Amino acid sequence: MSEETSCHTESARAGNGLRNPVTPEVHSAARRYRLQRVRQQLQRNGCVATLLYDPVNIRYATDSSNMQVWTLHNYARYALVFAQGPVILWEFHNCEHLQDGNELIDEIRPALNWSYFGAGSRMSEKAALWADEIADLVRHHGGKGARLAVDKADLEGLELLQRLGVQVVEGHSLMEEARRIKSPDELALMRWTINVCEQGIARMHDELRPGMTENELWAWLHFENIRNGGEWIETRLLASGPRTNPWMQESSDRVMQVGEIVSFDTDLIGPYGYCADISRAWTVGHVAPSDEQRRLYSLAHEQIHTNMALLKAGLSYRDFTHQAWPIPPAFHHNRYCCLVHGVGLADEFPAVAHAGSDWDSGGYDGVFEENMVVCVESYIGEQGGYEGIKLEQQVLITAEGCEPLSRYPWQDDWLI
């Protein structure tokens, strides 16, 4: 382990959380930058405003959060951000106080929940009230027939807005484009989340022993995230032994045995809502790997580092895909779903496809730019094989190449 990670492990053993180095000034600058990015995208796309329901998009534009996972599936909180005008947040019942001191929000109103859960048989009545309120604001600040970008909403609501003269356009892509380029202050927030995540990884490493369940091990990542101000973890991608092949099996009550592979993907939403998306693999009991485990790990490590060496500002997605490390045929069937993907407040645009049939069926071109953050992915496991290795590294795109944002060490002594 590196000195940095060893310090994390000692802190975990001592029962102490980390000390947050982010100043209020950095936090304030990051939130102002993000709102500016949204407004720039609105102006470029000829939209007067965007209506946001996705809690991650609301967090990006307003730096406000409330029951983030619950509001992913309950339409009980939304925001309207004008290109030249106010930021209005509709907050959940009696939660206005949660946004005290948030200088980005000009007005807070009580949310009108017209989903079946919130409105029952009065859905149509409540939806009409909701549409009237939104349309009045859009007309007031943008005039008749103004374009309103919407990231996601129920079909009935969109139809009501259109009947009231609002030109509704798809807004999710607009927000993805806004979120794509990070400021130095945003990167400071992200680095802090990665630091917290690495504390959790180190704690898992320290606690891992034969005879414990996958769920018991995974719980330590949640523990370190929450006690250091983090928020949630988007998946439960930790598996051991034969459950590592194929990948995408979530943690279970399986009891782990000495010498088996255990691999994981953090997908951690930490402090300030930023994502740390890191994958590593160990043996249970931290014993020496078998020859086959070394072979799998070495190939996954080679894929990650070969592809990292290609990344730099100005490189197209297409060129990256066609220059990427060639997956040996034995591992192609179980390949990971993409080569790299963007990351910020969560997994983000782009998701860069593999060459061949993946590119032909779903690939799209673009250009890597400075201050994009992406995750470089690898899964190596033969179809029908016993175990597999999942590795992932989060990196910052620079003019010269890419900078690893995670400092958690690899198993260099496994490499062949």
Domains of the chain (ranges; CATH) run: 24-179 (3.40.350.10), 184-414 (3.90.230.10)
Residue 3 predicted with pLDDT over 80:
no
**What beta strand segments (E) does 123-274 contain?**
147-150, 167-170, 232-233, 237-240, 261-265, 268-269
Q: CA-CA distance, 265 to 256, in Å (whole number)?
A: 17
Q: 59 is written with which tokens?
A: 């967090």
Mean pLDDT over the full length of the chain:
94
- Quote the tokens at residue 150: 């919407």
| Portion of the chain with pLDDT greater than 70, in percent | 96
Nearest Cα to 335, choosing from 300, 295, 380, 375? 380
Provide the pLDDT for residue 16: 67
405: which residues sit within 8 A by CB, 6+ positions away? 190, 191, 194, 373, 394, 395, 396
- Sheet hosting strand 275-276, strand order edge to edge: 232-233, 268-269, 275-276
- Residue 12's pLDDT is 40
- Residue 21's alpha-carbon distances to 123, 176, 184, 195, in angstroms, are 47, 28, 14, 11
If you average pLDDT over residues 205-214, what whole number do you get?
Answer: 98
> What does the pLDDT read at residue 154?
81
The reported pTM is 0.93
Residue 17 confidence class, pLDDT cut points 50, 70, 90: confident
